[in-house]
Amino acid sequence: MNRLPACAISAWSACFEGGASFGPDSAPPLRPASFRPPSNRAVELLQKALLPIQSTLCERLRRYEPSRVGVFLGSSTGGIERTERFYLDKNADGKIPETYSFEMSHSHYSLIEEMNQDLGVKGPSYVVSTACSSSAKAIAVGQRWLALGLIDAAIVGGADSRSELTRLGFSGLNLIDPIACRPFDAERRGLVLGEGAALLLLERSEDSGPSRVFLRAVGESNDAYDLTAPEPEGRGAELAMRRALEIGGLSPADIDYINAHGTATKQNDLAETKAIARVFPFVPSFSSTKSTTAHLLGTAGALEAVLCTQALTDQHAPPNRVPTTVDTSLACQPDTSPEPKPLRFVLSNSFAFGGSNASVLLGREPDPEAPNLPARRLYLTNASFSIGTPDKSESSILPSRLQGRSSPLIRTVAYLFQQLALAEDKDTPALILGSAFGELQTTLALLTQLKEQGTVSPIRFSSSVHNASIGLLTQLTGNRGYATALAAGASTVAMALAEAMVFLRCHGGSALVLCADEEGPTTLLSGDTFPACGVGFRIVASGDPPEGAWAELEELRPAAAAQSPQVPHELAQLTKPEEGPLQVAPAAFGLCLAHALLKGGSPAAESAIGPGHVLALKALA
């Protein structure tokens, strides 16, 4: 992984049950008239976190063009709490109340939509949804966009709310402790769920003024082991920490404190201490803050980055809860009463369902040797698409035991992957899933079960996270490299391509961009449904065009006016319902380009790739 320049953390804020943290120079929280009524609980929590630093944000953001400010948030559950309430209480006739909007109430992108409007920013924006690592990975996204000079500032963070579905799902997996969250305690029985939000403002170090804390790096990896259980030896966690040190230009001896993921589940705490002990010959002080904050799921990474920023500011590491009984099986023991000591660099871990890992590296010092990233050109070498849900024979990468119970989204993503993956790959490609609505069928089945039986299937629950399909692919292929899942409403294909382009320009290699959505839920949509749809692209970073390259990707830029997807005629015949206007999934914005490439045509100089985005291409002979 290439070293990246550090970012200054110019403002931060977090809210959670029983506490809050914000700074610097924050104002008393006052609800401004500019805030719209929140469309769901997660948005309400975001607004609550925004209030203490709104004046600071507005003052600093006035220096930048609105289109040069990015917003990258993480969320595991999005608006599920609002959909759950509607689903359990909807009218006896099954009609959808006017107060409920599937697109704005359920979608992860509702967080971004309302944040952009509340702050008046218009730059690149999307929600990372990789379960409990979501907001930590969103912080990494902000650093990469800043490192390439594509934006001047990034608002990063996350929000997640409680829901009965989530509580019963974790309970069914025997991961809830009914007494308390007791990280690294021999008597620990699991996590305690909470809700909250956290935000950080990132700027380039030279633009930030007298900043006291800097984001040095985020290391990311996959376990490639299981959808819910961590790899027992913590090898994925180890790789994430090592990559953070590599990207940040530091050594293990530089770290003064580790904020552990520390969920207080038997498997996680044991695997994490093994990983820490291997990375650090002399283990620094470490603790888990989840006994105080509870586990905020996808928001945990951003919340704990805020707490570490505060620790660096105050020069005092938070202690671990004193164990009732010391667990002698752990590879190392947490610090229950850390002495005040100078903190220069700290590491904060977040691990997740799907085997997704992220380690955030923060420090009191910017990088004295800020690197210059090498110029990289990006080439489109392959494409694929799917209309409707592929059958079992078309997604043969899935083992037979999974064929019958895989969701339509998993089958579509597996099909796209099969069309794009190359057996002769020398480097493991980055995997980027773009899905506006994620595992819809699985989520609706869980909500129906919750309504009718008051229970939630733990097997289905573990497959309901947004990144289930991409996590499964890493497991089936042994890919411990980079993998992520994101949502950006109708701009999902555009932002997934942008994520690939930014990652490859920072770190090189190749990427598979897999965008898909299941058939629109007739039980939640007020208009016509839309069919299942998927589109995939293979992108390679190279000095010269690789063999078989169709086009060079030059840039992704805002369109002059809003656009509708121009679905090719023969595809439109497949997607058009018998009556009413054509309703399309967000992935349809990529169909025209993929179809042209696969038919052997020369790509146009520009392709509409979202309602407000154009992909600039240079066709190759």
Residue numbers annotated as active site: 132, 261, 295
Q: How far is CA 379 from CA 139, 510, 549, 617, in A?
A: 27, 9, 6, 9
Q: How far apart are CA 512 and CA 421, in angstroms?
A: 8
DSSP 102-146: IIIII-TTHHHHHHHHHHT--S-EEEE--GGGHHHHHHHHHHHHH
Q: Which amino acid is it at 216?
A: R
Q: How far apart are CA 348 and CA 532, in angstroms?
A: 38
According to DSSP, the β-strands at 533-542 and 510-517 are antiparallel
Query: For residues 247 and 219, is the Cβ–Cβ distance under 8 A?
Result: yes
Query: What are phi and psi for residue 384, nearest 5 degrees?
Result: -155, 160
What is the three-class DSSP state of 364? coil
Return the CA Rg of the chain: 23
Q: How far apart are CA 499 and CA 433, in angstroms?
A: 10
Q: What is the 3-state secondary structure (H, E, C) of 36-103?
A: CCCCCHHHHHHHHHHHHHHHHHHHHHCCCCHHHEEEEEECCCCCHHHHHHHHHHCCCCCCCCCCCCHH
Q: Which of 565, 508, 515 is nearest to 539 (CA)?
A: 508
Q: Which amino acid is it at 452?
A: E
Q: At 7, which helix (H) or strand (E)?
A: strand 7-16
Neighbouring CB atoms inside 10 A of 332's CB total 15
Q: How far apart are CA 273 and CA 262, in angstroms?
A: 9
173 secondary structure, DSSP code: T
What b/e string do you get for 547-576 counting C-beta neighbours within 10 Å, with b at 16 or more?
A: eebbbbbeebeebeeebebebeeebbeebe
DSSP 378-391: EEEEEEEEEES---
Q: Which of 204, 134, 554 is nearest to 352 (CA)?
A: 134
According to DSSP, the β-strands at 377-387 and 551-558 are antiparallel
Q: How far apart are CA 81 and CA 166, in angstroms?
A: 9
Strand partners, 295: 193
